[in-house]
Amino acid sequence: MPTAIKHHTRCIICGSTDIMPYLSLGNMALANSFATKQHLTKPAKKYPLGMTYCHACHLSQLTHTVNPKNLFQTYAYFSSTSPQLVAHFSAYAKDLWRLFPTLARGLVVDVGSNDGILLVPLKKRGSRVLGVDPAKNVAAAAAQAGIHTMTKFFTPTLAQIIINKYGQANIISANNVFAHTPDIHLFMTAVKRLLCPGGIFVFEVKYLGDLIGKNEFDTIYHEHVFSYILHPLVTLLGKYAMQIFDVHHVDTHGGSLRIFASHIPLPFAISPSVSTYLQKEIRAGYTDLTTYTRYAQKPPAVKKKLLALLTSLKQKNKRIAAYGASAKGSTLLQYCGIDTNFIDFVVDTTPYKIGKYMPGTHIPIVDARQWKKHPPDYILLLAWNFSDSIIKREAWFGRRGGKFILPIPAVGVV
């Protein structure tokens, strides 16, 4: 394996050394490094997890990044496991066809295509599609759904291979992956090369405005090298003679942005949404370090409150389990020091995760049948982004007296 960890003293996007660490969540096992039974005898490898702010371009990036080869070549996350995400990406495909019908008819390359969650509905509508994702195990699921994936990291070399074989892309999409690569300049060079003149680059990223506003600190983990507001993205794309021409807020992952960009000169009018977002970010203080240093006081408050609640429930001999072996759940459990002393098991529907153990805390992951056989008194919702649908679907649990604990945005019992 390549050297795992790199400490950053410069902003990865703009190169400035005027960066300031503002948050440390301690040392953590990688959020998707689910342990097998054999691994349990060895302590998990842990890496520092913290955030830095760049005074020059207003980027928040990790203080230390892990080599992507250690993170993404075998992957635990299968996007289509969650029906809400399937619906989101199906609507996304519909939007692309509605907004850019001529482009959508040609080649669409999805980077970080996972199990084909966006390409399946695009293909159904008539797009020529190609996936790019280094995770062979997840690409195998895409193949089953009829999607061909190049199982490589997205680099200029790969872009050239794609051009030679398929031609340039009309649309390049990259969802929940643009924040994941420390080699963002290689990624952008590849986008620049692969995208045809007049084509669009569309991507979704978790929005730092939601992270701060709703205290979603658990969405910070080593896979998320960058937590974006719009400002640094404008800087980044500008370096490649590209421009953002539209931006929308979407609900996924606790609040994300869907961003549309193209080569300069732009073939599209710039939507007022771009300047609206930039101004809103300035007004909200997201271009000012003090907002971030102030925010850094919030995660410890959640930890204190959640531990107090779980401790009091254990003192009353209540049985507690968790729902959703999410990556953010890994951060939350590890940061708060919540392990098998509090939580008996975590329920998840992902076959890859069932039978394994949560990273760092080693809580066993079980399928839904086991939960129903031995229902606990309380369920800690680690997939709080799906709380409405989970609580509704699992109404039987409430009817028999069970309660859900919501950790984010504020600790509460429902």
Output 20 or 91, the one with its CB closest to ligand JHZ.
Answer: 91
Interface residue with ligand JHZ among 93, 233, 383, 411 (CB under 6 A) is 383
Q: Which residues are registered as beta bridge partners of 109?
A: 130, 172
Rounded distance between C-alpha atoms, residue 278 and residue 272, angstroms = 10
Interface residue with ligand JHZ among 192, 231, 328, 356 (CB under 6 A) is 328
Output 127 or 256, the one with its CB closest to ligand JHZ.
Answer: 256
Q: Which of residues 331-360 bind ligand JHZ (CB under 6 A)?
A: 348-350, 353
Q: How far is the CB of 365 from ligand JHZ (least distance, A)?
A: 9
Rounded distance between C-alpha atoms, residue 387 and residue 383, angstroms = 7
Q: Which residues are registered as beta bridge partners of 405?
A: 380, 413
Q: How far is the CB of 394 from ligand JHZ (least distance, A)?
A: 8
Interface residue with ligand JHZ among 68, 182, 199, 324 (CB under 6 A) is 324
Cα angle at 317 between 311 and 323, to 5 degrees?
A: 70
Interface residue with ligand JHZ among 222, 253, 258, 356 (CB under 6 A) is 253
Contact pattern for ligand JHZ over residues 74 through 113, marking x by CB under 6 A: ---x---xx-x-----------------------------
Contact pattern for ligand JHZ over residues 121 through 160, marking x by CB under 6 A: ----------------------------------------
Q: Determine if 65 is a binding residue for ligand JHZ (CB under 6 A).
A: no
Output 253 or 258, the one with its CB closest to ligand JHZ.
Answer: 253
Q: Determine if 327 is a binding residue for ligand JHZ (CB under 6 A).
A: yes
Amino acid at 27: N
Residue-by-residue DSSP string for 64-133:
EEE-HHHHHSS----GGGSHHHHHHHHHHHHHHHHH-HHHHTSEEEEET-TTTTTHHHHHHHT-EEEEE-
Q: Give the number of residues in contact with ligand JHZ, rule: CB under 6 A.
A: 21
Helical axes 184-194 vs 156-166, angle rounded to 10°: 20
DSSP state of 9: S
User: 3-class DSSP state for residue 412?
Assistant: strand
> Whose CA is closest to 347, among 367, 375, 333?
367
Q: How far is the CB of 386 from ligand JHZ (least distance, A)?
A: 4
Using only C-alpha atoms, the chain has a radius of gyration, in whole angstroms, of 21
> What residues make contact with ligand JHZ under the rule CB under 6 A?
77, 81-82, 84, 176, 206, 223, 253, 324-328, 348-350, 353, 383, 385-386, 390
